[in-house]
Chain A
Amino acid sequence: MENTQEKRRILIIDDEAGFTRMVKLNLEKAGPYEVREENRALHAVAAAREFKPDLILLDVIMPAMDGGDVAAKIKNDPHLRGTPIVFLTATVTVREAGKAGLNAGGDLFLAKPISVDALIEVIHKHARPPEPPAEKAGPA
């Protein structure tokens, strides 16, 4: 493993466990990524607070709570505010997403199925650069 400090932290929130595992496998195999899976939408915010990701991959349609609500909570959270979110959607088109009020923050959407190359390209473009270790170690 390389220096963990330099790894990008990616949180993927999706109820499809097979998919989150594939993303984790691919990303961690392909580059300096640390991927954390969360398959329960209700635990998404807590997981994000704890993990402090550089980018969140967020499924739109999930049981109990959909991606839009999760995103809203994250954006309203003072510790998580500013974390880039990339929506992953299996059904809705961009226009549909707009209708659902999901593009309010100029968020990015990726339609499933998505290739590993495309995913890496998006993450590379939008993920927050890694925080300095001092700040990261400091109190929240």
Chain B
Amino acid sequence: MIVLAIDTSNQPLSLAVLKDGTVMGEKLINIKRNHSLQAMSEVEALLASLDVEPASLKRIVVAKGPGSYTGVRIGVTLAKTLAWSLKIPIVGVSSLLSLAWPGKYFDGVVVPLMNARRGNVYTGLYEYRDGWQTLEEDRNVAMSDWLVHLAEREDRVFFTGADVDVFWEEIQSVLGKRAYRVSEEEAYPSAVMMAKHAEGLPDEDAHGFVPNYIRLAEAEANWLKEQEKKNG
């Protein structure tokens, strides 16, 4: 069974092709380049280099968010349209979990971070114990609140993702020596890890598959607020 995994929710593009659970090939592009331009053609190039025909794909795994709205949509649109076209299942994996892989052998909990601007982050709480476990669901939260919350736990905390840089001082000031960070060369998403993790997840239907934005669109959030005001 050949599986294609795609992550376009961060600046890096991460692709992987696995056959019966073994990595056939993977690709990471970690420079600033438009996913809408490159993602499909890089999938084509990777599959061609592995001699895999599109029709041989049996499952598509995709990072479903959170992350850059546009970035996530590009991956999800490609994945669901490929899945629908090839009549194969699609499986969504958290974009945050895709960043968690360097924490696999860490003795403690893993916290992937994505900068969501204005002091907010997309984050979640994970742990590797017989596979990846979600301790706390992905969320959009003020970094200061999240750190207070993490400080209540006793664990050592491993922070992953390229955006750790932005918050490292703040993290240290709250968690002190309990905080660890991913090294620079491992601060990128891993489609391989997503594909492995997805082996234990149920198939989803392509038509109904949508990104997990976590946040409402700004216009919608404002509109809802106004409705509440109107209704007292």
Say if A and B assemble together.
no
